[in-house]
Amino acid sequence: MKSYNVIQNPEASLDEKLQQLESSLGNTPLREIRSLLPNKKVQLFAKLEWKQLGGSVKSRPAFRIIKDAIERGELSPEKEILDASSGNTGIAYAHIGSRLGIPVTLCLPENASAERKQILEDLGANLVLTSKEGSTDEAQEIAREMYRNEPGRYYYADQYNNSSNWKAHYSTTGPEIVRQTGRQVTHFVAGLGTTGTFTGTGRYLKEFNPDIRLVALQPDFPLHGLEGWKHLETAHVPGIYDSTLADEVRPVSTERAYELVKIVKEKEQLLLSPSSAANLAGALELAGELDEGVVVTVFPDDGSKYSEILNQLLK
């Protein structure tokens, strides 16, 4: 079991701790994927989002949600952060909460990977496991019920409906992509889960240059294997999702994502999570249709929390 030494400078004020945390988030590297594109006039880049505190893209919105709630006076160390999560946002909450001295309670589908559950337990999060059949939709319902029953105990973060989610990407991910591509980005591709990454980044990019094309991805089938993703036609649509933002919505199969995990490990020496590979699948499909351009996607996390799946795929 890994032990997390999470208390840093316990004498610092809450504002000082927030400032220290903010410096360890974002500014993730942009990695060009060269080996899988034959057309040299098309470039494909991915943000390596595991290269920050918490190990995933979800650290950005988790921090912004917590910071905004503290600044509004809705959250303090006397309350618990409560939310539903498929894993990565919960891990981000737990990392941040442990450093701020704020307890975290998470409603988590029971089929979340064993590694994620172990990390959350090691970070001191209180887990309320919900059925795998109900996915994150049921987890949200249970979290809302817990909040209704004890509103004085919890701050309900509600990542699927909290505007701080997409604003985190509007203020960080979008500007980073513009800067890191030398203002040359032409297409942005991202999967839909809470939809915060796509909504916030997409809004910033459209404001920067309305000609940038935004392509949203979702699973091709309701019973998919892409943890954290939503098949919007059959799931609860997050309140922060703006259906007018995407220029196009494309399906991605779990099988194609799993296939790419193996290919990318061999050709790019990157161990991707299934959701990162799914983003890559959509981005590669789009890039293959272009004569020229600069396509950017996001790798939400790496494969370190998916050993059970990856051990089977990489045999």
The pLDDT value recorded for residue 10 is 67
Q: Assess whether the region 24-52+173-313 and the region 59-156 belong to the same CATH fold.
A: yes
Cα first-last separation, the chain:
25
Least confident of 75-79, 130-134, 141-145, 185-189: 130-134
* Residue entry with tokens 């996607």: 297
> Which overall architecture, per CATH, does domain 24-52+173-313 show?
3-Layer(aba) Sandwich (3.40)
The pLDDT value recorded for residue 4 is 44
Residue 126 one-letter amino acid: N
- The dihedral built from the CA positions of residue 68, 71, 77 and 80, taken in this order, carries a sign that is negative
Higher-pLDDT residue of 57, 232: 57
Query: Is pLDDT of 237 > 50?
Result: yes
Residue 43 one-letter amino acid: Q
The pLDDT value recorded for residue 8 is 57
Domain spanning 59-156, CATH class: alpha beta
Query: Is pLDDT of 228 > 80?
Result: no
- Distance CA(78)–CA(152), nearest Å, equals 10
Q: What SS3 state is found at 207?
A: helix
* Residue entry with tokens 């949200």: 140
Q: Residues in the chain, how many? A: 315
What are the residue boundaries of the structural domains of the chain, listed by start?
24-52+173-313, 59-156
- Distance CA(251)–CA(13), nearest Å, equals 46
Q: What SS3 state is found at 118?
A: helix
Across the range 234-254, mean pLDDT stands at: 93
